[in-house]
């Protein structure tokens, strides 16, 4: 049976090297005017047009007050529109405006370029292997979180 402490140390080692490589500790996301979290919010709204602030907060594990400030900024900059939900006018549906969609597309493309540069020396099969391994990591982490929340093993 693998030693849990050694496994945790390997994960922490990977994170210490991977996070800076991806520029995730930089003040601005890939040279843009957005923080990493702001970029994530913009991209997520673009990915899920018509979502609500609650949807975004849950998906990205964000404080609702912090998210509200981000959304206000995006609306003020003309990147976002909010429309009342057809069933519940208190609930606002979020959609990117044309400039917001352009900005999200640009951020997405920059992220793809960065990852492409990092994996430039890898074969297509190796890239697919990395993507599959990351998907498996996500599955295990989500399963672990669900077990912890429900008390199941």
- Alpha-carbon distance of 7 to 140, in angstroms, equals 14
pLDDT attached to residue 90 = 85
Contacts 24+ apart (CB under 8 A), 127-136: none
pLDDT of residue 23: 80
pLDDT, one tens digit for every residue, the chain (153 residues) = 678 899 999 999 998 988 888 887 788 888 899 999 999 999 999 999 999 999 999 999 999 999 999 999 999 999 999 999 888 888 899 999 999 999 999 999 999 999 999 999 999 999 999 999 999 999 999 999 888 888 876
The pLDDT value given to residue 47: 95
pTM: 0.84
Long-range contacts of 91-97, Cβ-Cβ distance < 8 Å, separation of 24 or more: 91/52, 92/52, 92/53, 93/50, 93/51, 93/52, 94/45, 94/49, 94/50, 94/51, 94/52, 94/53, 94/56, 95/45, 95/49, 95/50, 96/42, 96/45, 96/46, 96/49
Which domains can be identified in the chain, with CATH numbers? 4-118 (1.10.10.10)
**Strand ranges inside the chain, DSSP E:** 80-84, 92-96
């Amino acid at each position: 049976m693998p030693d849990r402490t050694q496994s945790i140390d390997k994960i922490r080692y990977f994170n210490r090297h991977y996070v800076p490589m991806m520029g995730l500790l930089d003040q601005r996301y890939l040279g843009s005017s957005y923080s990493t979290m702001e970029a994530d919010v913009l991209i997520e709204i673009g990915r899920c047009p018509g979502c609500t602030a609650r949807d975004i907060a849950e998906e990205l594990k964000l404080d609702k007050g912090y998210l509200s400030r981000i959304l206000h900024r995006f609306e003020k900059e003309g990147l976002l529109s909010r429309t009342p939900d057809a069933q519940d006018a208190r609930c606002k549906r979020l959609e990117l405006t044309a400039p917001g969609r352009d900005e999200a597309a640009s951020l997405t493309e920059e992220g793809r370029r960065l990852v492409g540069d990092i994996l430039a020396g890898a074969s297509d099969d190796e890239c697919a292997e990395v993507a599959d391994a990351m998907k498996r990591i996500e599955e295990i982490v989500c399963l672990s979180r669900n077990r912890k929340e429900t008390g199941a093993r």
